[in-house]
Amino acid sequence: MTTIQYINTPDQLAKLCEQIKKESWLALDTEFLREKTYYPKFCLLQIATPEWVACIDPIALPSLDILFEVLYSPSIVKVFHSCRQDLEIFYQLTGKLPEPIFDTQIAAPLLGFQENPGYAMLVSSLLNVNLNKAHTRADWSKRPLIEAEIQYAADDVIYLCKIYQMMLQKLAELGRGDWLERDFAELSNPDLYEVKPEKSWLKIKGKNKLTGKQLSIVQTLAEWRENTAQSEDRPKSWLLRDEMLFDLAKLQPETVSELANVRGINERTANRYGAELCDLIMAAKNRAPIPLNEKGRPVKKTQQQEAVLDILTALVRIRAEENALNPVILATRKDLEELLFNDGNECPLLHGWRFNMAGMELVGLLKGELLLGIQSDKLAIIENKCLN
């Protein structure tokens, strides 16, 4: 069994950094807490290669600057599973993002796995190992960590090393080694990790059912909630839950006493923020909301729309068969509806390997630049030569 290095002094960290400089890739994972804060509290960083494994204690160490300096080297591939939260911590601490990245969750569908598979499922399927879940809910901020907790944390990157090597080999055998470059490059886009308070309302579901005044209030309160949660480092749901934003938008209290009588508003919130919230509500209902600009799917699709979706589905099935993929991995009916009705950049078919495999042609079909026809008794994608 590989000895786990527990790094909690500057001298140990400096020696580890010298080890890291020799590597071409590293498996990484983090342990953090977020139940009582807005920003994740960084508690442990695990790093492994096939030869060694280390658990680094950011709580004990005065600085991680020398570590990040070597980790961010473009000559070292950083391997994660579902890396968005890990990278959010890195970005929060350094204001930068490491690259290049390899994410096993993103790579898995190209090897026949379902979309967004869990780490335990990959370990079980590829390594025939059932992960120990005994410390899933451990308090990683307490010290000292017990030996079993350290082993539990280290196991994640030990197995991640093995999965990465297996995936690289299989991707190479299938000729898909470079398919994921754009997907992985997108993970180092700072826009993914910067929360803009003025746009926080966009993530709230049900906003399209509000009147103009109500929408303006929800937009204003959502921005206030995000700013306040950030400045106080508290979960935003502790301030106002989404359903409370809607209640306030509909009831529109004008005084603290009226606000305090709204069901679900606790006394602390009313006393501390009541006057400010009432002022925000009064101002918001007297100005026009930011337009939704949501095209949205029709409640009931027409036969023509269903037929178009069938044609798009046919193209997906052709390209999936050519690449030995389950068509659902390439695109679901919901993905195709997103492409057809919303024209949004959020559609997965407009990004990464899916865009290269099918998305570009799907867009061409919708624009009339391509046609779906029959050649030699088979469906084929044909250039529309009649298009001027």
> What is the architecture, at CATH level 2, of domain 197-284?
Orthogonal Bundle (1.10)
Q: Which two tokens stand for residue 368?
A: 């009339």
Residue 281 has pLDDT above 90, yes or no: yes
Class in CATH terms, 4-192 = alpha beta
Where do the domains of the chain lie? 4-192, 197-284, 303-383
pLDDT at 294: 57
Domains 4-192 and 303-383 share a fold: no
CA distances from 371 to 85, 247, 355 (A): 42, 49, 18
Fold that domain 303-383 belongs to in CATH: DNA polymerase; domain 1 (1.10.150)
Q: How far apart are CA 106 and CA 124, in angstroms?
A: 17
Relative to beta strand 77-80, strand 101-103 is parallel
Q: How far apart are CA 224 and CA 277, in angstroms?
A: 9
CB count within 10 Å of CB 115 equals 13
Residue 347 has pLDDT above 90, yes or no: no
Residue 151 has pLDDT above 60, yes or no: yes
State mean pLDDT over 31-52: 96
In the chain, the largest separation of any two C-alpha atoms, in whole Å, equals 76
Write the pLDDT tens digit of every residue in 1-41: 679 999 999 999 999 999 999 999 999 999 999 999 999 99
Residue count of the chain, please give it.
388
Write the pLDDT tens digit of every residue in 352-372: 899 989 999 999 999 999 998
Q: Which two tokens stand for residue 179?
A: 């398919």
More confident residue, 79 or 298: 79
DSSP states along 162-217: HHHHHHHHHHHHTT-TTTTHHHHHHTT-GGGT---GGGGGGG-TTGGGS-HHHHHH
State mean pLDDT over 41-45: 98
Write the pLDDT tens digit of every residue in 156-181: 999 999 999 999 999 999 889 889 99
The set of residues, in sequence order, having a beta carbon less than 8 Å from that of 53 and lying 6+ positions away, is 2, 3, 4, 5, 46, 47, 154, 157, 158
State mean pLDDT over 183-195: 93
DSSP state of 59: T
Q: Which two tokens stand for residue 57?
A: 């204690």
**Model confidence, pTM:** 0.87
CB count within 10 Å of CB 89 equals 19
